[in-house]
């Protein structure tokens, strides 16, 4: 598998490197780690020293385990590459996903929190660690282990970290699989945490592991040409801590610590039964029916079908603990329970399985299969002739005795480890007679018919170890892919009940296009259980399939999806139409003023459709610039029966006299589109008016008592990242609402501005208008649902008061601008299609908003800087264009003085929020940019 990993998994070098121990050698976990790192370095071209390569980017080492004796089905590929079913509550998962795919986002989250000393992470490939939404700060040491609180009975099966009770976090020593009694004895003086399988390593720690594995830094090679045996847990780990159990001067000198992961969830995939139990636990994590759809909140049964053509009528009570993957199971089979069935080729056998029997068909050569029969709890350990060695859930030697087979005649020494014994026959598919297959695993084999014992002796046979070496992985992957493609059309047809529209629709569309399946009729909105977002995702999926097939009209379906979202949000505003009535006299002016907003964390969680399905969470603050609210609107009556719109900053004016002219707010390039949409929402288009019935706009204005003039002023450049467009919309709606007696409060303005943004086809979320509508510094949250209702928690203003604002926290206009519409469309497309990268990043953005909230609540400047820094990193992960070269050049010039920085808004230009290390650094930073500004427009703003 190591040789074929790159091609079969689509993970090319040098980004990925897969290695195994060299033939006839056992490197141990430490030697294997050293070997993997050096091979990865060589894969990158080795045009620089190993040390330079290690420093160039963090490295993740996932240990795939050994022979996987207790999980035979996936021994040839390794546990980390076992296929994992899509979780019914999750969004953005793939039909092709493996355990490794589940692990990677969690490992990335740990890397994001790790300090600058960390260059590598070692993780276990047979566990899934589901981390809590909030993670602790990680100490900066050479070796950091992540631990979990468990009972002694659970801890006895793993490595365990021990810390002095009076100094939690300090690593005293590490033990491998201590007994529960030993743990209880030590717990009187020590806290204990089970090893989660994740260790973070500094360059110094990596160097120690390499040297203990035979690495020579001078020759840049291993002594003897290959890595030597070294155990990461049994040797290196035992020498860590203040009171290590093993003496090793070089390891003892490393600083080490353990960090607990509160509320983390640990799922083990070490054995066949563990695999089913862990998947069931994961499937049943969420029982909220609002997230599960029509499938409801029933507990998921322990029955898993993946990449399978399955016709057998399952029963919950009779067929529990079932795993069927990459297999064809016709209705003629008879299943019981406790089965793992993998690789079963197309067949029409009348096969009857006894409880506990598992079958694996490993493709060998061009057209043969090695048939591996085993028991679900078989450990595959011990000599074949030992009475306590288990095969098929019974004594292994009994299998031979019941069938009258002599070990010597089978060419097997009684002392041979069962893993190395040639037990499994190699057959063609036509040679797989169901009675012979039953004879292979039967507790009481039928000895009256064909001489199956002689046939078994004459057939070529492989051991479990040989299967992993001889298996044709390309055939295995091709059969799995064919079965998967066969499942796609039924899943789509059954979309109301299946997880189809929760999948990563881009990767699913690619599979669907390759399969050649016909696209069914569009989803019918009248069907029971069809949510509005089903209709949107149906159109997006169609567009993606057609795009992959090269069909020209794909973009029309995508536009229909965006249009449907706009209409959903607009419809919410139309549900409460208004009746504008003049509430001013002719010499009065209504004057609206608003601050702009500085977004600190959480931006993008507020953007539909993400917020409609997950809710949003944003921390931002409302600010004046240079002592003035920079967004201003003036409205008054006019003599003519028309709507007059003026922009003071643009020096432009436009008159609207008809409904058709007002309806034109979607026209590209219209400088007054925003004002027209605001007038529409204020009731000056019939569909937003509670009474309607006017023959023309002129008639309506006559009834109103006159025309309306508005003057708009934005003292901030467009595309500056301060939310000016949305805040101007909210300010204009507030001003018109006052003039027209609509009694809108801030929540009304919040919702209508969100609808207005959709009407303009610019999309956008709600954080901009919320930032300007609601004073001060606050956490703004909404729950899932079409009606986004904000809940606000205000924060203390100390960090943005006189001691910090314009002192160590600075606002700098870069002189660059970038409009967010195209960025927004790309990111919204990714969310529509359930892109896992987009969803993972936006979820991390939401979690970071909580970090910012906590830091400001505690007046923790360093914590605030960390949150702002993370915001900037996550925004760039979502859209690399957020940080153009011209902005990076500014940041490079002042990097020595900065604690954190981010471009405000969607990024790419506009205003930089700068958090200096201290007041002195802020002074130097200001001097640097004022003496040599990057362009003639760049400047500091108070």
What's the maximum distance between 2 C-alpha atoms anywhere in the chain? 112
- Predicted local confidence at residue 838, as pLDDT: 95
Which secondary structure element, helix H or strand E, spans residue 62, and what is its range?
strand 59-63
Which phi and psi (to 5°) does residue 434 adopt? Answer: -60, -35
Q: What is the average per-residue pLDDT within 424-437?
A: 96
Long-range contacts of the stretch 463-466 (C-beta < 8 A, 24+) = 463/419, 463/420, 463/421, 463/422, 463/423, 463/424, 464/67, 464/69, 464/72, 464/75, 464/372, 464/380, 464/418, 464/419, 464/420, 464/423, 464/424, 465/67, 465/419, 465/420, 466/422
CB 940 within 8 A of CB 812: yes
Give one DSSP letter per residue of 237-297, joined into a string: GGG-SSS-SS--HHHHTS-EEEEE-TT-EEEE-SSHHHHHHHHHHHHTS---HHHHGGGTT
Q: What is the average per-residue pLDDT within 126-146?
A: 90
Of 532 and 354, more confident: 354
Of 752 and 340, more confident: 340
Q: Which of 620, 609, 629, 614 is nearest to 565 (CA)?
A: 609
Which secondary structure element, helix H or strand E, spans residue 777, and what is its range?
strand 777-782
For 520, other C-beta atoms within 10 Å of its C-beta total: 12
Q: Specify burial of residue 940 (Cβ count, 10 A radius: 0-12, 13-18, 19+).
A: middle
- 89-113 pLDDT tens trace: 999 999 999 999 999 999 999 998 8
CA angle 772, 777, 781 (to 5 degrees): 80
- Predicted local confidence at residue 848, as pLDDT: 94
- With a CB cutoff of 8 Å and minimum separation 6, the contacts of 760 are 665, 666, 673, 674, 677
The CA distance from 708 to 698, in Å, is: 11
- With a CB cutoff of 8 Å and minimum separation 6, the contacts of 908 are 816, 818, 823, 881, 882, 883, 884, 887
- Predicted local confidence at residue 113, as pLDDT: 86
pLDDT of 297 > 60? The answer is no
Per-residue b or e along 910-920, where b marks 16 or more CB atoms closer than 10 Å to that residue's CB: bbbbbbbbeee
For 779, other C-beta atoms within 10 Å of its C-beta total: 23
The CA distance from 400 to 222, in Å, is: 46
Give one DSSP letter per residue of 449-481, joined into a string: SS-HHHHHHHS-EE-HHHHHHHB-HHHHHHHHH
Confidence label for 193 from pLDDT (cuts 50, 70 and 90): very high
Lowest average pLDDT, out of 197-201, 396-400, 528-532, 638-642, goes to 528-532
**Hunting for tokens 């902005």 — which residue is that?**
887
How high is the mean pLDDT of the chain?
Answer: 93
HSE-CB at 339 with a 13 A cutoff on CA atoms is 27
**Hunting for tokens 């690789």 — which residue is that?**
343
Distances (CA, A) of 653 to 642, 643, 644, 700, 709: 13, 11, 7, 22, 10
- Predicted local confidence at residue 571, as pLDDT: 77
- Predicted local confidence at residue 622, as pLDDT: 97
- Predicted local confidence at residue 480, as pLDDT: 97
CB 263 within 8 A of CB 148: no
Strand partners, 916: 898
- 200-255 pLDDT tens trace: 999 999 999 999 999 999 999 999 899 999 999 999 999 999 999 999 999 999 99
Of 566 and 175, more confident: 175
**Residue 64 tokens, joined:** 């795939």
Dihedral of CA 243/245/249/250: which sign?
Answer: negative
Confidence label for 573 from pLDDT (cuts 50, 70 and 90): low
Q: What is the average per-residue pLDDT within 104-128?
A: 92
- Predicted local confidence at residue 333, as pLDDT: 97
The CA distance from 900 to 871, in Å, is: 10
Distances (CA, A) of 398 to 403, 405, 442, 894: 8, 10, 12, 77
Confidence label for 821 from pLDDT (cuts 50, 70 and 90): low
Long-range contacts of the stretch 858-865 (C-beta < 8 A, 24+) = 859/796, 859/798, 859/799, 861/799, 861/804, 861/808, 861/899, 861/915, 862/899, 864/600, 864/799, 864/900, 864/915, 865/899, 865/900, 865/915
Confidence label for 820 from pLDDT (cuts 50, 70 and 90): low
Confidence label for 58 from pLDDT (cuts 50, 70 and 90): very high
pLDDT of 832 > 90? The answer is yes
pLDDT of 703 > 80? The answer is yes
CA angle 464, 466, 472 (to 5 degrees): 105
Which secondary structure element, helix H or strand E, spans residue 618, and what is its range?
strand 616-623
pLDDT of 575 > 70? The answer is no
Lowest average pLDDT, out of 59-68, 383-392, 791-800, goes to 59-68
Which of helix, strand or coil describes residue 592?
strand
The CA distance from 754 to 405, in Å, is: 77
- 489-530 pLDDT tens trace: 999 998 888 899 999 999 999 999 999 999 998 888 777 667
Q: Backbone dihedral region of 728: left (phi > 0), alpha (psi from -120 to 50 degrees) or beta?
A: alpha
Residue 48 is given by DSSP the state S
Lowest average pLDDT, out of 76-80, 526-530, 780-784, 904-908, goes to 526-530
Per-residue b or e along 238-247, where b marks 16 or more CB atoms closer than 10 Å to that residue's CB: bbbbeebeee
The three-state (H, E, C) secondary structure of 332-354, written as one string: CCECCCCEEEECCCCCCCCCECC
- With a CB cutoff of 8 Å and minimum separation 6, the contacts of 697 are 641, 642, 643, 656, 657, 658, 659, 661, 662, 684
Which of helix, strand or coil describes residue 562?
helix
For 228, other C-beta atoms within 10 Å of its C-beta total: 18
Interstrand relation of 616-623 and 777-782 (parallel, antiparallel or unpaired)? antiparallel
Q: What is the average per-residue pLDDT within 149-158?
A: 92
- Predicted local confidence at residue 497, as pLDDT: 83
Percent of the chain with pLDDT over 90: 82
CA angle 195, 201, 203 (to 5 degrees): 165
**Hunting for tokens 């086809």 — which residue is that?**
761
Which of helix, strand or coil describes residue 395?
strand
Percent of the chain with pLDDT over 70: 98
Q: What is the average per-residue pLDDT within 903-923?
A: 92
CB 938 within 8 A of CB 813: yes
Of 881 and 836, more confident: 836
- 261-294 pLDDT tens trace: 988 999 999 999 999 999 999 999 887 766 666 5
Q: What is the average per-residue pLDDT within 623-632?
A: 96
For 197, other C-beta atoms within 10 Å of its C-beta total: 24
- Predicted local confidence at residue 711, as pLDDT: 98
Confidence label for 754 from pLDDT (cuts 50, 70 and 90): confident
- 367-381 pLDDT tens trace: 999 999 999 999 999
**Hunting for tokens 């602790």 — which residue is that?**
136
- Predicted local confidence at residue 670, as pLDDT: 86
- Predicted local confidence at residue 450, as pLDDT: 78
| pTM as predicted | 0.89
**Residue 55 tokens, joined:** 């420093």
User: What is the tally of helices (H) and strands (E) in the chain?
Assistant: 30, 35
Q: What is the average per-residue pLDDT within 673-680?
A: 95
Confidence label for 574 from pLDDT (cuts 50, 70 and 90): low
């Amino acid at each position: 598998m190591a040789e074929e990993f790159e091609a079969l998994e689509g993970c090319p070098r040098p980004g990925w490197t897969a290695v195994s121990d060299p033939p006839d050698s056992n490197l141990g976990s430490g030697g294997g780690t050293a070997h993997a790192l050096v091979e990865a370095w060589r894969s990158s071209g080795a045009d620089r020293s190993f040390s330079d390569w290690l420093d160039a980017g963090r490295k993740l080492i996932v240990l795939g385990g050994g022979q996987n004796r207790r999980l035979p089905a996936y021994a040839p590929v390794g546990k980390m590459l076992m296929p994992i079913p899509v979780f019914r509550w999750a969004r953005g998962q793939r039909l092709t996903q493996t355990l490794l795919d589940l692990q990677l986002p969690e490992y990335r989250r740990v890397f994001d929190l790790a300090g600058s000393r960390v260059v590598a992470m070692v993780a276990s490939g047979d566990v899934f660690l589901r981390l809590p939404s909030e993670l602790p700060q990680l100490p900066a040491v050479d070796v950091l282990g992540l631990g979990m609180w468990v009972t002694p009975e659970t801890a006895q099966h793993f490595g365990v970290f021990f810390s002095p009770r009076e100094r939690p976090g300090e690593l005293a020593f590490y033990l491998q699989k201590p007994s529960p009694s030993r743990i209880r004895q030590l717990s009187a003086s020590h806290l204990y945490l089970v090893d989660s399988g994740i260790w973070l390593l500094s360059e110094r720690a990596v160097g120690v592991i390499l040297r203990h594995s035979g690495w020579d830094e001078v020759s840049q090679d291993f002594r003897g040409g290959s890595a030597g045996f070294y155990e990461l847990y049994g040797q290196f780990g035992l020498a860590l801590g203040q009171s290590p159990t093993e003496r090793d001067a070089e390891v003892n000198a490393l600083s080490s610590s353990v960090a607990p992961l509160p509320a983390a969830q640990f799922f083990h995939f070490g054995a066949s039964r563990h695999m089913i139990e862990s998947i069931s636990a994961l499937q049943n994590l969420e029982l909220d029916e609002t997230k599960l759809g029509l499938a409801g909140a029933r507990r998921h049964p322990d029955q898993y079908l993946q990449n399978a053509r399955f016709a057998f009528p399952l029963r919950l009570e009779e067929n529990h603990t079932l795993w069927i993957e990459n297999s064809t199971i016709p209705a003629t089979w008879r299943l019981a329970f406790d089965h793992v069935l993998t690789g079963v080729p197309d067949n029409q056998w009348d096969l009857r399985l006894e409880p506990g029997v598992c079958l694996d068909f490993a493709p060998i050569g061009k057209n043969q299969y090695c048939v591996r029969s085993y028991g679900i709890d078989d450990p595959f350990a011990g000599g074949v002739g030992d009475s306590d060695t288990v095969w098929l859930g019974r004594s292994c030697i009994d299998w031979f005795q019941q069938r009258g087979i002599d070990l010597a005649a089978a060419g097997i020494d009684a002392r041979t480890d069962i893993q190395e014994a040639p037990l499994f026959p190699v057959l063609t598919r036509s040679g797989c007679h169901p009675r012979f297959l039953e004879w292979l695993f039967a507790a009481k084999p039928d000895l009256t018919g064909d001489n199956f014992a002689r046939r078994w002796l004459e057939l070529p046979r492989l051991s479990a170890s040989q299967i992993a070496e001889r298996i044709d992985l390309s055939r295995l992957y091709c059969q799995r892919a064919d079965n998967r493609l066969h499942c796609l059309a039924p899943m789509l047809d059954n979309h109301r009940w299946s997880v189809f529209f929760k999948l990563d629709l881009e990767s699913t569309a690619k599979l669907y296009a390759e399969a050649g399946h016909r696209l069914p009729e569009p989803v019918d909105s009248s069907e029971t259980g069809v949510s509005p977002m089903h209709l949107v995702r149906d159109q997006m999926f169609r567009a993606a399939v057609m795009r992959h097939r090269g069909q020209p009209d794909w973009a029309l379906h995508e536009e229909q999806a965006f249009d449907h979202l706009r209409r959903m949000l607009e419809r919410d505003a139309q549900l409460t139409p208004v009746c504008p009535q003049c509430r001013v006299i002719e010499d009065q002016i209504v004057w609206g003023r608003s601050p702009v907003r500085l977004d600190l964390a959480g931006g993008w969680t507020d953007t539909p459709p993400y917020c409609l399905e997950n809710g949003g969470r944003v921390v931002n603050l409302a600010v004046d610039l240079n002592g003035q609210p920079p967004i201003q609107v003036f409205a008054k009556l006019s003599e003519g029966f028309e709507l007059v719109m003026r922009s003071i900053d643009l020096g432009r004016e436009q008159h609207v006299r008809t409904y058709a002219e007002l309806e034109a707010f979607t026209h590209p390039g219209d400088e007054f589109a925003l004002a027209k949409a605001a007038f529409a929402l204020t009731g000056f288009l019939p569909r937003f008016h509670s009474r309607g019935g006017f023959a023309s706009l002129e008639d309506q204005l006559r009834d109103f008592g006159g025309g309306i003039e508005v003057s708009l002023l934005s003292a901030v450049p467009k595309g500056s990242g301060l939310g000016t467009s949305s805040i101007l919309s909210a300010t204009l709606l507030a001003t018109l609402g006052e003039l027209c007696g609509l009694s809108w409060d801030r929540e009304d303005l919040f919702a209508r501005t969100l609808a207005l943004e959709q009407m303009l086809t610019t999309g956008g979320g709600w954080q901009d208008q919320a930032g300007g509508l609601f004073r001060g510094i606050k956490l703004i949250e909404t729950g899932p649902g079409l009606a986004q209702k904000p809940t606000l928690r205000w924060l203390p203003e100390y960090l943005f008061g006189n001691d910090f604002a314009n002192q160590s926290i600075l606002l700098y206009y870069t002189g660059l601008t970038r409009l967010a519409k195209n960025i927004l469309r790309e990111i919204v497309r990714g969310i529509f299609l359930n892109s896992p990268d987009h969803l993972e990043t936006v979820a991390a953005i939401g979690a970071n908003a909580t970090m910012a909230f906590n830091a400001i609540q505690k007046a923790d400047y360093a914590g605030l800087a960390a949150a702002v820094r993370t915001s900037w990193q996550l925004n760039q992960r979502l859209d690399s264009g957020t940080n153009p070269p011209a902005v990076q050049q500014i940041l490079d010039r002042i990097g020595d003085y900065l604690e954190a920085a981010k471009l405000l808004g969607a990024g790419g230009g506009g205003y930089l929020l700068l958090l200096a290390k201290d007041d002195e650094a802020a002074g130097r930073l200001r001097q640097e940019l004022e003496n040599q500004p990057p362009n003639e427009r760049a400047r500091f703003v108070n």
